[in-house]
Amino acid sequence: MASAKIDKIAQDIKTMRIRGAGRIARAAAKALKIASKESKAKTPAEFTKEIAQVSKLLLNTRPTAVSLPNAIQYVSIALKQANDLDLQKLKKAVISRADEFIKNSNEAVKRIGEIGANRILDGDVILTHCNSQSALSVIKTAFRQGKHIEVFVTESRPVWQGRLSARELLKEGIPTTMIIDSAARHFMRDIDKVIVGADSIAANGAVVNKIGTSAIALAAHEARTLFFVAAETYKFHPETLVGSLVKIEERDPSEIINLKRYPKLKVRNPSFDITPAEYVDLIITEQGIISPYAAYSIIQDIFKWTLGKKV
């Protein structure tokens, strides 16, 4: 049985009180750390079973954010690498992996900001969509370097993540303008660069991100505006290397409309869409800037998947 703390983390991820792929991943690692600390297991086998149960609970919260299973895999590998450890050492190994993941994740966001800021010029007008910590790190770092920039933020309906981004940018002192999502094409010719995050990146370079991203990318492509994606390498999707499709999550219609007033109305509410690699100019990772077509190699290097097999 998961503790109340773990149940709350899972519920917060599911209801989007914890949102953003990076935050979700770090929250999952934290939940596994809590599970290890609170474990009542008497044997390594019982402990492994407990961790598996907590992992399953977390995995069922948000099916599209690949950062979640990748974080769980990163932490849980301690169980596979430590079969000969006693129970207490096994618990410490899981806790250590969780702490390591959280530390690396936070450092990755900072590093992405430093690398990406080099692609921002003084006077740039930037458009961002949703609330990506990696994308915002690029923008904030460029501003802290003394570059005079302006940012357009979409509302990012229906959950309004753009308001979170606007709040962060204004707190930094960055001139910020909010627009409705459907106005992105109208303003695109005023934009120098689009910078978004990613919930998942497929082996073919396609980017899964907040619904509306693909329409913005298409508008940027049409206007010849540079389109950047800022994403940690743990957001690359290893299973797409062997042809698995990314599952697009559909959320509760109540986020859009009160169905009690329209009982016969059918509502579709996908959280994400897929932007083809040809609309992405570059991907900024903590390891450096890559072409979207290099995603295949990143997945092989990071996850050690080759020819449909895990190594």
**CB count, 10 Å around CB of 261?**
7
**130 is annotated as an active-site residue:** yes
CB contact at 8 A, 209 and 275: yes
Tokens for 147, please give them: 């570059």
CB contact at 8 A, 251 and 269: yes
What are the start-end ranges of the E strands in 193-281? 193-196, 200-201, 207-210, 226-230, 272-275
Q: 230: which strand partners?
A: 284
Closest CA to 134 of 115, 160, 155: 115
- What is the CA angle 8-155-113, rounded to 5? 75
Tokens for 174, please give them: 């960055």
Q: Are strands 207-210 and 200-201 parallel, antiparallel or unpaired?
A: antiparallel
Read off the amino acid at residue 151.
V
Between CA 2 and CA 187 the distance in angstroms is 48
Among the listed residues 84, 181, 192, 199, the single catalytic one is: 199
Between CA 68 and CA 194 the distance in angstroms is 26
Q: What are phi and psi of 150, to 5 degrees?
A: -130, 145
Among the listed residues 124, 130, 181, 281, the single catalytic one is: 130
| 3 state SS of 36 | helix
Active-site annotation, residues:
130, 199
